[in-house]
Structure 1
Amino acid sequence: MNCSVGADTEPFDRTCDEGPSFPYNASRKTHILILATTRSGSSFVGQLFNQHSDVFYLFEPLYHVQTTLVPRLSHSRNVAERRVMLGASRDLLRSLCDCDLYFLESYIKPQPVNHTTDKLFRRGASKALCSPPVCDAFGPAEVNIEEGDCVKKCASLNMTLAVDSCRERRYIALKTVRVPEIGDLRVLVEDPRLNLKIIQLVRDPRGILSSRMETFRDAFRLWRIWRATGRKPYNLDLSQLKVVCEDFLNSVSTGLSRPHWLKGKYMLVRYEDVARNPLQKTKDIFEFLGMSLDQNVVKWIKRNTRGSKELSAKHKYGTVRDSAANAESWRLKLSFEIVDYTQNVCQQVLHQLGYKAVNSSEELKNMSLTLIEDRTFVPFL
């Protein structure tokens, strides 16, 4: 099981006699995959699971696959590269669902020695990796463990202890922005060894673009010039925006068509709905997954949805913010010309997800005019 290989790729630095194998308990584990794109609110939603006392959460484990197999690549449209990335990603996700973290070691550079490493990407974003039995610096009931404090106080990560922590918990939650479409995961959803449920997180593409312009300043330099000068650069890279909307459209269309293989396995969630009513939306998500609303989650929501602008600005990958105001703050940051262009490129997916277009600069800046339709996406049960 631990060495199964998808049809699209060969195993990477791994043979079937390496590392221990683990028995799979189908009656106990629920596997949760948060499927999102960059700057769509996935860190915030991921933390809703991370705070649950019975969840083993990993933040972007596929980062290591991407940086090892396809360096400097982000959402490649090259068919061959995409097949390699997806095949390796599916193998890793399958292994992680079985708490086989040793499989991940093949992608971590430098490779861990004696199953110990300090190079796991964003280790501090996982509460399970910052608390017993993995780390004794914080108690299991600690609600707000700062990522930097975890990295400083917990020293190197012992993968064997991480495996123990994973096996103790009923739920395994994995967040990724590195799988373009839900159809790419069908082989995992249909795998009888897994009990995989997918939360597909979407966000208004206009909000995603605005957030990326602030976060990835070099990559979006020309967009920023357009915003500042009002003149669209002739060599502006439009592919980043088109890829987001094409992947959203293809993925959401698949999910909402309710194919038989997604029955009971799929829930579509808009980031704006979580931001506007985080407690109720979290209850809805957990109910779909058959999870109780842990009090640690409630405490975290109350503490992290009324943050100050200053604190949010200091931590661009953080989750402490006024979530409701943040959801539509792009309206005050983008020019109408950029918004209008985005609406034309992403017209289909905006309509499908219930995001309203604006027709003038006045409408754009009028924050009393909501751009989000009240729409309920009922889980496919």
Structure 2
Amino acid sequence: MKLRRLTNRKNSTTFSTVMTMYIVSTILTLAHIWATNTNDLERLFPVVFNQRLSKHMFGKLPVEFDDIEGDSDRLWLWKRLYPSKPSDRPLAARVVVHARMRTGSSLMGQYFSEHPDFAYLYEPGLLVKKLYKMNEYNDSASYLAPMQLPLVQSIIDFFNCTFEGDVLSLLTRNIWLRSQMNIKDLMTTDNFTTHCVSKRHRVVKTIRLSDIAFIVRTKEFIDGKVKIVHLVRDPRATLSARERFQHWNYRTRWGTVIKQNIEKFEKYATYYCQWLQTNLRSAQNIPRRLRKNFVIVRYEDLADRPRDIVPKLYDFVGLDLHQRVRSMIDGQKDKLGNGLAWRRNMPFNRTSIVQDVCNDDLFRFYGYVKVDNAEQLVNGNFKLLSTKPLVPSGINFIL
């Protein structure tokens, strides 16, 4: 049953009619609250009824519920009964792509930035890192700890188009970084601000945020204004990619194993698996009413099934798929199958290191299948990706 809003209509609504409609509306409202949140019933009844009725009867104001969003009494339950129509407010997406080094975050960012109405911030951690003069490859939680708060602040500043100070100065001087964000010609604070505010939607991709809890605790996320896309990748694939990207050499020209680099491989595998574990735990702790604003996506699905995954991503953020994004998907045909290409590049001994470091539960939760021997690793018929990951109940997962 759709509840009607009461409006001031002179000479058309009597006092008794208003009271009757208000009582019926209140009864239905309380029944809904009772069915969904019984603990809030006693607190909400006097606040809601008296506040809204007094405004209507004595203030002669139309009963509107859009202003409840900023109400100190936190009457968010009313939004379930009186949702804003799409035409009431312009939709504005604020998206954080939360990933790690060599997990495919650039591809994910491109699927959003290709939309012409998205302002895109490419890895603010690069800028914050320079302020702290940190090693760009070290991504252990303890090492990145000093930059977490300024990193989150730079993300929120970008969402509000108030990006300024030292971070903005670094951004305007970095030609390569600006090119990644499609703002090659912008050099000043004013130009950057103009670019930002000219776009309705904004997306940030970062690989140096240790824990989504830092974003979940912000007012912007609590108010439902920010959505988090948590991009993960098979730990074995991530380490294989980092091995090549950072030029880790495991043998001398005479075939001797370099022990130091094996230790480095194990160390960074540990960092990545700890990151997966930390964020899975934080996802479980997101308040139930806000879990709809968090989703997990696997790189393997994004890379090999973009026609399925990208439309679901846009549905998650509440937008239609733009034609330019569709064209980008069509251009990815020759890259399909890359999601599992790592199995042809990494030998079984290093695969085993990652599997030993990352516990079995993590593999099962994200839907990755461990191998028992070298034959399974290179056998294309042996599936390394499960279509039914055992993610804890209540956490969204795009498949």
Q: TM-score, normalised by structure 2?
A: 0.69
3-state SS of 1:29 partner: coil
User: Are 2:123 and 2:207, in contact at CA under 8 Å, matched by a contact in 1?
Assistant: yes
User: Are 1:189 and 1:262, in contact at CA under 8 Å, matched by a contact in 2?
Assistant: no
List 4+ stretches of structure 1 deviating above 4 A: 189-194, 228-232
Q: Quote the Cα distance in structure 2 between the aligned partners of 1:163 and 1:39.
A: 30
TM-superposed deviation, 1:86 = 1.1
Partner residue of 2:349 out of 325, 337, 340:
337
Partner residue of 1:185 out of 215, 220, 227:
215
Would you say 1:119 and 2:174 are equivalent positions? yes
User: Are 2:144 and 2:210, in contact at CA under 8 Å, matched by a contact in 1?
Assistant: no
Q: Quote the Cα distance in structure 1 between the aligned partners of 2:255 and 2:367.
A: 31
3-state SS of 1:269 partner: strand
Would you say 1:65 and 2:128 are equivalent positions? yes
Q: Quote the Cα distance in structure 2 between the aligned partners of 1:60 and 1:234.
A: 30
Question: Deviation per CA, 1:73-109, whole angstroms, max 9, x where unpaired?
Answer: 532443xx644311111221111110112x2x4136x
TM-superposed deviation, 1:363 = 0.7
Out of 230-239 and 161-170, give the one that drifted further: 230-239
Question: Deviation per CA, 1:192-218, whole angstroms, max 9, x where unpaired?
Answer: 67711000000001000010111111x
**1:88-237 map, 5 Å:** 88-101=150-163, 103=164, 105-107=165-167, 111=169, 117-119=172-174, 122-127=177-182, 129-130=183-184, 154=185, 157-188=187-218, 195-217=225-247, 220-221=248-249, 224-225=250-251, 229=255, 231=257, 233=259, 236-237=263-264
Question: Deviation per CA, 1:28-77, whole angstroms, max 9, x where unpaired?
Answer: 43210000000001011110001001111111122111121242253244
The residue type paired with residue 373 of structure 1 is S
Equivalence for 2:110: 47
Equivalence for 1:349: 362
TM-superposed deviation, 1:122 = 1.5
User: Are 1:117 and 1:158, in contact at CA under 8 Å, matched by a contact in 2?
Assistant: yes
CA separation of 1:285 and 1:191: change in aligned 2, threshold 3 A: closer
Question: Deviation per CA, 1:129-160, whole angstroms, max 9, x where unpaired?
Answer: 14xxxxxxxxxxxxxxxxxxxxxxx4x52332
3-state SS of 1:95 partner: helix
User: Are 2:125 and 2:151, in contact at CA under 8 Å, matched by a contact in 1?
Assistant: yes
Q: Quote the Cα distance in structure 2 between the aligned partners of 1:256 and 1:380.
A: 13
TM-superposed deviation, 1:174 = 0.3
Equivalence for 2:301: 273
Partner residue of 1:37 out of 100, 125, 129:
100
The residue type paired with residue 96 of structure 1 is F
User: Are 2:226 and 2:293, in contact at CA under 8 Å, matched by a contact in 1?
Assistant: yes
Larger radius of gyration, structure 1 or 2? 2
3-state SS of 1:328 partner: helix
TM-superposed deviation, 1:300 = 1.0
Q: TM-score, normalised by structure 1?
A: 0.72
Q: Quote the Cα distance in structure 2 between the aligned partners of 1:180 and 1:214.
A: 23
The residue type paired with residue 107 of structure 1 is V
Equivalence for 2:139: 75
The residue type paired with residue 233 of structure 1 is K
Would you say 1:362 and 2:375 are equivalent positions? yes
Equivalence for 2:338: 326
Q: Quote the Cα distance in structure 1 between the aligned partners of 2:96 and 2:256.
A: 40
Higher normalized helix content (fraction of residues): 2
Larger RCO (alpha carbons 8 Å, 6+ apart): 1
CA separation of 1:230 and 1:333: change in aligned 2, threshold 3 A: farther
TM-superposed deviation, 1:265 = 1.4
TM-superposed deviation, 1:120 = 5.5
Equivalence for 2:86: none
Q: Quote the Cα distance in structure 2 between the aligned partners of 1:59 and 1:353.
A: 26
Taking only aligned residues, the RMSD between alpha carbons, in angstroms, comes to: 2.8
CA separation of 1:121 and 1:106: change in aligned 2, threshold 3 A: farther
CA separation of 1:69 and 1:97: change in aligned 2, threshold 3 A: same
Structure 2 gaps of 5+ residues are: 1-88
User: Are 1:273 and 1:281, in contact at CA under 8 Å, matched by a contact in 2?
Assistant: yes
The residue type paired with residue 197 of structure 2 is R
Question: Deviation per CA, 1:349-375, whole angstroms, max 9, x where unpaired?
Answer: 222211001111111111222200003
Q: Quote the Cα distance in structure 2 between the aligned partners of 1:355 and 1:76.
A: 23
